[in-house]
Amino acid sequence: MMKRSVIAAFAILSLCKSGYALEFQAVGSGALGVGGAGVARSDGAMSPYWNPAGLAFAKKTVSVSLTAAAGLKPEKKLAEDIDNLSTTYKAWNSNQTNTTAINNLANAVANVSASDNLRVTANTALGAQVKQFGFGVFGTFEGGAVPHTVPVDTTNPPGSITTSLNNDYVTTRGIALIEAPISYGYLLDVGKLGHVGLGITGKYLYGEVTSENPKIFNNGTVLSSKDLTKDLSRNRNGSSSWGIDLGVMWKPEALLPIPVTVGLIGKNLNAPSFSAKNGDKFNVDPQIRAGVAAELASWLDVVADIDVIKNTTVVPGLKSQLLGGGAEFHPFQSLKLRVGGYTDLSESGGAVTAGLSVGAPMIYLDIDGAYGLGTVKYDNHSYPSEAKVQCSLNLAF
């Protein structure tokens, strides 16, 4: 009965269109180091986040994990555009009849594209697994900004140009989501087909939402790239909701010559919603992700994940559909090395990833990171097009 319910739920959701589903963040489990893949490889303390079905295959009686991460993604050059506007506006504002200053300002405004954006992510979590049960507190933050500008008519007098500039603004949106899940994984023996794990998570949700439209030019002042990230934490409005996740994990075992695991997770299947102070509604729509993991050798695992449906992020008009994977080398019991990468199938861009685990079997530390291959400017300094770092402390008994 439970198996049929899981299949039915995924079948219905495969027909759904996304509203404001969040980007699927890599939380703990060393997932960031292998391209953000974790749906088919998590069977411990982070299973309530990645896939509760992994609890059915838990290798340890008890495991605990504490993790924190932060990331900045200015790859669409909005931060650089805003800083250029600031520079050219100040030059024009000091001499509003100077032809060169007027043209430079007009060009700076024209160079701002509606597709430019800035995204910020962060997560922190405390997860625990006891046999086939999982608990914890998982916090994620996703924020973004997108511009709205009007072309400057250089033939207009300074007063008309000022009026035109006053119509330029940036939409900033963000949501901090805290989840307190209770998860359970149930193991099914399907004979020659191997074993199937079914998982379910019920969770309390608390979300703090912000949605603002700050002007780029306002009474002689101009927005900076630093202001964009500051606006993501202003005028937050908090409210509570609940969510449900369903997962499945399959180990074919004798059917294949090497150990392989296939996983599928549907998160926030009831589409919980939260509201900003200005009345904007944030629907955290379902996320569906599939993953595969294979043990090619006793010292080498390869993994991959893909978002089955596109997720519409907090940035208006911007979607996310991540495909990522990598390999984990564990030549010694006290050392694991990870390498991988991911790309966004909905937008250009991606990153290479790496990580390592050091310690003893009962206690170890994960350090993982992602690095975009492009270069952009933020606050007039050059940075990679994307950067993330994550650290986790893990206990297992």
CA–CA–CA angle 27, 33, 38 (5° rounding): 50
pLDDT of 263 > 70? The answer is yes
Q: CB neighbours of 248 closer than 8 A, spacing ≥ 6?
A: 6, 10, 53, 196, 197, 198, 199, 263, 264
Q: What is the pLDDT of residue 21?
A: 58
Q: Kindly list the distances between the CA atom of residue 157 and the CA atoms of 97, 102, 162, 196, in Å, as whole numbers in the listed order.
A: 8, 10, 9, 72
For residues 19 and 88, the model is more confident at: 88
Return the domain boundaries, the chain: 2-396
Closest to 37 measured CA to CA, from 209, 292, 254, 229: 292
Sign of CA dihedral 306, 307, 310, 314: negative
pLDDT tens-digit series, residues 306-339? 999 998 888 877 888 999 999 999 999 899 999 9
3-state secondary structure of 110: helix
CATH fold of 2-396: Porin (2.40.160)
pLDDT of 4 > 50? The answer is no
Model confidence at 3, pLDDT cuts 50, 70, 90, reads very low
pLDDT tens-digit series, residues 89-124? 999 988 888 889 999 999 999 998 877 888 889 999
Closest to 242 measured CA to CA, from 285, 202, 201, 276: 202
Q: What is the pLDDT of residue 75?
A: 62
For residues 57 and 219, the model is more confident at: 57
Q: What is the pTM of this model?
A: 0.88
pLDDT of 350 > 80? The answer is yes
